[in-house]
Amino acid sequence: MNEVSINPSTLKGRDFLTLLDFTPDEVQYLLSKAVELKAAQKQGIGKLELAGKSLGMIFENASTRTRVSFEVGMTQLGGHALFLSPRDLQIGRGEPVKDTANVLSRYVDAIMIRTNSHETVQELAEYAAVPVINALTDAFHPCQALADLLTIQEQKGELQGKKLVYFGDGNNVAHSLLIAGAKTGMDVTVASPVGYEVDPSIFNLAVEAAKETGATLTLSSDPKAAAKGADVIYTDVWASMGYEQEQQEREKALFPYQVNDELVSQAASDFIFLHCLPAHRGEEVTASVIDGTRSFVYDQAENRLHVQKAVLVSLIGS
Ligand code: CP
Ligand code: NVA
């Protein structure tokens, strides 16, 4: 693992909206902090670094991993997490984001939000006096990408120069993988059918960030060629939250991008398979791959806990 030298106090009070807002050294620092916290938890010597602190968690969409890992993470650090659904919050009845941000800031030490619109998260961050953490929007999923980096680092020893290929539509997870790869010097390819490519403006931002690390970012519409020599094969559901009504047309367009035994035979012999989960076996990935020996999806899910604890300690720890 790389030696990182940043002053950790530079992370205090910051928002965590996308990894674009963090330097390569800061990303490496968060990863090294996650490694430290994971080891401490496994040895039973974790410290209550967030004793007395509270995290408000606004979920406008379903979640298994994000909700449980943030809530358990706060508990393990000696703090407390509140699950806030729009069904219960006044925001669900039209209270402005501005008022919600201001009021919650008087009670909690950080706000985590999962919502469709990235603009809502930006607005919340603009008005909140406490750090806001993006727990998935239609554009980004930075907590996931940080957990993905940790998982790749654990399995491959390092990130620099490793080849990751993502198969699927250019969604939130694809965007955050491009940015994460850019920040860590990886070689990231997103293979998507025509009409389902990544957002060009986000791709351009990632390409700009890649200049700092020597990362290479590529878009492809040839899944077999893209898979050649991959160290990491990654996929995600064909219809993300909010796009369920497009399921049928997406199945047709994305079927050639299914991660199956034939596709992974193109990858490096020691490739690893990752998926942010939830997965649909028989759609974006076959059971033979996701349940096979090269799959590390449960380690990846576990790592959400460790990286988010690193983010929380870095943003709101004393
Ligand atoms: N990967 C992920 O964010 O999972 P959840 O939707 O279950 O939180
Ligand atoms: N792209 C998926 C990720 C789920 C964690 C979605 O947005 O539904």
Q: What is the CATH number of the domain that holds 223?
A: 3.40.50.1370
294 and 310 in a single domain? The answer is no
- Domain ranges, residue 311: 8-140+303-316
Q: Is 226 in the pocket of ligand 2 (CB under 6 A)?
A: no
When pLDDT is averaged across residues 255-272 and rounded to a whole number, the result is: 98
Flag whether 1 is in a domain.
no
pLDDT of residue 92: 87
The ligand with the least distance to the CA atom of 135 is 1
Looking at the domain assignment, is residue 2 inside a domain?
no
pLDDT one-digit tens code per residue, 49-89? 999 999 999 999 999 999 999 999 999 999 999 999 988 89
Residues 152 and 296 in one domain: yes
Judged by DSSP in three states, 89 sits in coil
Residue 206 lies in a domain: yes
pLDDT at 88: 86
With pLDDT > 70 as the criterion, what percentage of the chain qualifies? 99
Name the domain count of the chain. Answer: 2
Task: Please tell me the distance from the alpha carbon of residue 34 to that of residue 303, in angstroms, as a whole number.
Answer: 8
pLDDT higher than threshold 70 for residue 99: yes
- Residues 130, 148: one domain? no
148 with 131, same domain: the answer is: no
Is 37 in a helix, a strand, or coil? helix
Looking at residue 4, its pLDDT comes to 73
3-state helix, strand, coil in the chain (%, to 5): 45, 15, 40
234 has pLDDT over 70:
yes
- Same domain, residue pair 104 and 163: no
Indicate whether 149 and 207 sit together in one domain: yes
Confidence of residue 314 (pLDDT cuts 50, 70, 90): very high
Residues 6+ apart with CB under 8 A from 119: none
C-alpha of residue 3 to centroid of ligand 1, in Å:
30
Question: pLDDT-based confidence at 31, cuts 50/70/90?
Answer: very high
pTM score:
0.98
Contact 116 CB / ligand 2 (< 6 Å): no
Asked if the model's pLDDT at residue 2 lies above 60, the reply is no
158 in the same domain as 135: no
Among all bound ligands, the one having the nearest atom to the CA of 59 is: 1
| 103 lies in the same domain as 171 | no
Q: Is residue 97 part of a domain?
A: yes
115 and 156 inside one domain:
no
> 156-205 pLDDT, tens per residue?
999 999 999 999 999 999 999 999 999 999 999 999 999 999 999 999 99
Give the tokens for residue 204: 């351009």
81/164 same-domain check: no
- 291/174 same-domain check: yes
Same domain, yes or no, for 25 and 120?
yes
In whole angstroms, what is the distance from residue 67 CA to residue 54 CA? 14
- Cα of 268 vs centre of ligand 2, distance in Å, is 27
Mutate to test the pocket of ligand 1, among 134, 136, 235 (most ligand atoms within 8 A of CB): 136
- Ligand 1 pocket test: which of 235, 304, 307 has the largest number of ligand atoms within 8 Å of its C-beta? 304
Pairing of strands 110-114, 80-84: unpaired
